[in-house]
Amino acid sequence: MAPFYVPSSAMAIVAHPDDIEFSCAGTLARWAKNGAKISYIICTSGEVGIIQSGMTKEKAAQIRESEQRNAAEIAGACEVIFLRQPDGLLQPTLELRKMLVREIRRFRPEVVITGDPTIVWTGDEYINHPDHRAAATAALDATFPAAGQPNLFDELEQEGLTAHKPRKVYVTSWTKGDTFVNIDETIDVKIAALRAHKSQMKDWDPEPRIKEWASGRAKGIEALYAESYRVITLVNDENWEKTKGQVLFE
């Protein structure tokens, strides 16, 4: 049986409302079900993502934030933070890095989960959104070394936001994953959370496609459905499994 690791807390950092649901919501829902505290950090509010006559960016942001809050509730996340950076124009600036360090130091997650900043395109019909790469780059740069680096951001220290080193980083990986999380128990939660993004789904039923992707990632493990990651362990002392996360068996 494959070990199943459950962190005590995890923070997902992405660019847009619905990015978590497309990528890692099955894992986060499974962790939440097993007692993990889950935080969602959404860098933009997806305000250019509703094309409709009479729609303003302000209205679209409100709709998409509300959809994201519903999706987070379905998956069992305890908070959703919107950084309200410009949708479609996100850059991995030092300012964004500092905003993310602030969130990491406040929530103090055991695991940070984000996208893969090296994916520019996949196959012959998909170019990755530049916001996805920007959010992932900023998330990794904030996680290491900045969040755990004392004396780096004096103003954060003065606010009591002291250095914090996440133990692990899960990078969602479509094609190069080496860690596969069985999401058989939470595939329906993932699909329900995705459906909460009504402005994006419109008449599209996500179920067949999401199941097809998740079953493609379950090859090689005893599961029908999986999400795949590259996992980087930054802190690995002898007792961490006993004192922090727990390892369950599927």
Shortest Cβ contact with Zn ion: which residue? 16
Least Å distance, CB 132 to Zn ion, is: 6
Residue with tokens 């900045």: 146
CA angle, residues 196, 82, 11, in degrees to nearest 5: 85
Cβ distance to Zn ion smaller for residue 17 or 76: 17
Least Å distance, CB 67 to Zn ion, is: 13
> In 3-state terms, the chain is what percent helix, strand and coil (to 5)?
40, 20, 40
Cβ distance to Zn ion smaller for residue 22 or 153: 22
Q: Which of 130, 149, 22 is nearest to 85 (CA)?
A: 130
Least Å distance, CB 163 to Zn ion, is: 30
User: Residues 135, 136, 137, 141: is their CA dihedral positive or negative?
Assistant: positive
Least Å distance, CB 114 to Zn ion, is: 12
Determine the Cα–Cα distance for residues 228 and 110; give it in Å rounded to an integer. Answer: 19
Least Å distance, CB 245 to Zn ion, is: 28
Q: What are phi and psi of 133, to 5 degrees?
A: -70, -40
Cβ distance to Zn ion smaller for residue 49 or 148: 49
Cβ distance to Zn ion smaller for residue 21 or 141: 21
Least Å distance, CB 116 to Zn ion, is: 13
Least Å distance, CB 51 to Zn ion, is: 15
Cβ distance to Zn ion smaller for residue 37 or 132: 132
Q: Which of 111, 90, 114 is nearest to 14 (CA)?
A: 114
- At 147, is the secondary structure helix, strand, or coil? helix
Determine the Cα–Cα distance for residues 179 and 105; give it in Å rounded to an integer. Answer: 26
| Residues binding Zn ion (CB under 5 A) | 16, 19
**Contact predicate 77/29, CB 8 Å:** no
Complete edge-to-edge strand list for the sheet that includes strand 79-85: 79-85, 37-44, 9-14, 111-114, 168-172, 226-233, 179-182
